[in-house]
Structure 1
Amino acid sequence: MVVSVRFCYWKFCHTECHCSLGGSFLTGYTRLCKGLAVILVLGFAFIQILPSAVDYLALIPSRTIPFAWNLFTAGYIEQTIPGVLLSTIGLLVFGKLLEPLWGSKEFLKFIIVVNLLTSVCIFVTAILLYYFTTQENYLYTPLSGFHGVLSGFLVGVKQILPDQELNFLKIKAKWLPSLVAVVSIAASFFTTEAMSYLPAILFGMYASWTYLRYFQKRPETGLKGDPSDEFSYSGFFPDFLRPVLDPVASVFDKIFCGRSRNQSAESRDQALDGSPLPGSDLVEAARRRERGARALEQRLAAEKNIKVPDTTSHDNASDNV
């Protein structure tokens, strides 16, 4: 019953949201996204005017100590025209989708956290590669770009709209991070440019999943993370690999949760008003996504003066299950 209600609701959201997004593609961007887009453009322009600034703003592992600020600044510095165009457009498009659901404060926090964790992972990886290969290019190559955060946005879309189908690819949104990862890995075998982007893309996905899975505070429940099975580590891979990967996921739970799943399950069984919530983590995650998608649809409909049908009955139906 819950599954059928959820399916009908997502089909409705897909139809209506597609029209709204198409009709207002050039409007509706928030101040935060516009401001961050300006930072990306100005950062690119600055290093074109003053090329030596790359040595201080990009991530160069050999200079990170003592110039530790490049762990923060590297993610906002694009060195190529295609890079700044892709990052700016991606930021505006994903921001239009995710910021209304997360809120401006959480959206900015997500960007800062994912950018920093991605840079730290790249730094550690470069040091290890130099240690094992003694190739100095791992220490002196300037690395920068917003693509780590962009790949993190894909994980956010997977969490919020997992069942939304992308018409141009004929796949569901939940497989988008995996598809981008596979394509990036394959491209890295043919071009050195793709190889330079690969670490940020993969680490950006992992950092964003870790943050969303274990640390992001959910305002509707007051709890942290997303414990649903569909957002587990093995959920990024085909189903036949899950028996192998689920034990790996349990290691992540032990590292990041710090408490048993039984304790967290008891907490999740209490709503904000203290009443028990019927159902499992999967049902709770489905309801959360339904509320989030409805909020986004109502905002987009308000921009286009489209009347959105009342979906309260869908929530009541799922709550009674």
Structure 2
Amino acid sequence: MPPRINLPPVTRALLGTLLFQSVLSAAIRYRQWAEDTDIVIPYLTLIPQLSIAYPWTFLTASLVEGNIFTFGLGAVTLYHGGRYLERAWSSADLAKFLVLVTLIPNVLTFFTMIFFFTLTRNTDWTLTIIGGTIPIQIAFLVAFSQLIPAHTVTLFRGIVSLRVPRIPLIYIGIVTLLSFTPLLSRAALWLANYSFLASWTYLRFFKMVFPDLDSAQPASLRGDASETFAFAEFFPGPVKPAVAAFSDQIYNILVAIRLCKPSAQRGITAGRDSFQHRGAPGSARAEAERRRAIALKALDQRLNAATAAARQSSQAPPPAPAQPSGPPVQVQPQSSAQTAMKSEPGPMLGETKFEPEEDDS
């Protein structure tokens, strides 16, 4: 029996869209390829100068990859990250999160390219290709930093050990370096940074939190004010105080202009006590979903094993009758007298027989 791949619906749709658009883009590039021509596809990827007539590219451009390396990395990210987050949250929450972390970075990068074109009058800025799964990859790393902040990733047999909240900035640094190479466009740097800010802001202040059933909490919780998900936690220890002070000032400004609500009005209490009281958002549901998935997998394996055993037993030939191992036994023939005595039963003991007399007349 071939292995069954169980993918939630949103993750399955993302993988299908990524495969379709990337293959279509590769086919168009192959057909129109020329040595001295840079091929752009404004109805698949976001091109500031050309894609105004194709507004859907502001959303779908994040599911197009231009080379096999970035396509493979994006597919692996969507498969594992999308499946985990969709089971930890829900399909609707993951879809809303993906719309925000793709639309906002693409729009901001679009206007950034226009801004640099205005300063330099260089048309290369307006012909920059904006696309790829980098915003989704950064957003997934930020979401993992919220759900599993205490987990540690160990690489090279313990030589490198990193906590999950440290990974997003490291990955942004790698993307920054690769944006100066032909592997990534110059827009990748801006996409990564805007996605980091957009995903953290949404999860920190606006996302509806799944309540913990073991604690007394209001039904409508928004955001995550725990210290483990503070903006400074993504940075190394020496710069944490400066980043924390700067982020607090930005938060106070946003509250003053009513773009963000204070923690008390959002139904959550900032600080370590709040984190210890309710735990990481979605942790109870994520743990329940993980256990359910493990139980379903074990049940599926048992059913497959039982089916295979039944099939083998039905296909096996019936066992041959056992032959006697001792000397042959001869049956002694019975005499005719004994046979007659057994075949003709006599009168029973104590039996009476009545015969009526006949009249002579």
Identify the residue that residue 45 of structure 1 maps to in structure 2.
23
Identify the residue that residue 109 of structure 1 maps to in structure 2.
96
Contact 1:47 1:53 in 2 (8 A): no
1:138 match: secondary structure: coil
Identify the residue that residue 210 of structure 1 maps to in structure 2.
201
1:141-193 Cα shifts (integer Å, max 9, x gaps) = 2221122111110100011011112232521212111221222234445x243
Which range moved further: 252-261 or 101-110? 252-261
Identify the residue that residue 73 of structure 2 maps to in structure 1.
86
Match 1:193 to one of 159, 164, 183? 183
Contact 2:141 2:168 in 1 (8 A): yes
The Cα of 1:254 is off from its aligned counterpart by 4.0
TM-score (normalised: structure 1):
0.76
**Which one has more relative contact order, counting CA pairs under 8 Å at least 6 apart?**
1
Q: In structure 2, give the amino acid aligned to 1:74.
A: A
Q: In structure 1, give the amino acid aligned to 2:15.
A: A
In structure 1, how many angstroms separate the alpha carbons of the residues matched to 2:63 and 2:280? 35
Change (3 A) 1:222 1:122: same
Change (3 A) 1:289 1:131: same
Identify the residue that residue 305 of structure 1 maps to in structure 2.
298
Identify the residue that residue 252 of structure 1 maps to in structure 2.
251
The Cα of 1:110 is off from its aligned counterpart by 0.8
In structure 1, how many angstroms separate the alpha carbons of the residues matched to 2:115 and 2:40? 26
The Cα of 1:263 is off from its aligned counterpart by 3.3
The Cα of 1:88 is off from its aligned counterpart by 1.4
In structure 2, how many angstroms separate the alpha carbons of the residues matched to 1:65 and 1:54? 13
Identify the residue that residue 161 of structure 1 maps to in structure 2.
148
The Cα of 1:114 is off from its aligned counterpart by 0.6
The CA RMSD over aligned residues, in Å, is 2.6
**How many residues matched?**
271
In structure 2, how many angstroms separate the alpha carbons of the residues matched to 1:180 and 1:252? 25
1:89-143 Cα shifts (integer Å, max 9, x gaps) = 2101101211111101111111111100110111111111112222211101222
Q: In structure 2, give the amino acid aligned to 1:34.
A: R
Change (3 A) 1:229 1:183: same
In structure 1, how many angstroms separate the alpha carbons of the residues matched to 2:205 and 2:10? 25
The Cα of 1:279 is off from its aligned counterpart by 7.2
1:184-221 Cα shifts (integer Å, max 9, x gaps) = 234445x2434533222222222211111121111314
Match 2:170 to one of 174, 179, 197? 179
Q: In structure 2, give the amino acid aligned to 1:56.
A: Y
Change (3 A) 1:62 1:305: same
Runs of 4+ in 1 over 6 A off after TM superposition: none
Between structure 1 and structure 2, the one with the greater Rg is: 2
Contact 2:44 2:64 in 1 (8 A): yes
1:98 to 2:85 alignment = yes
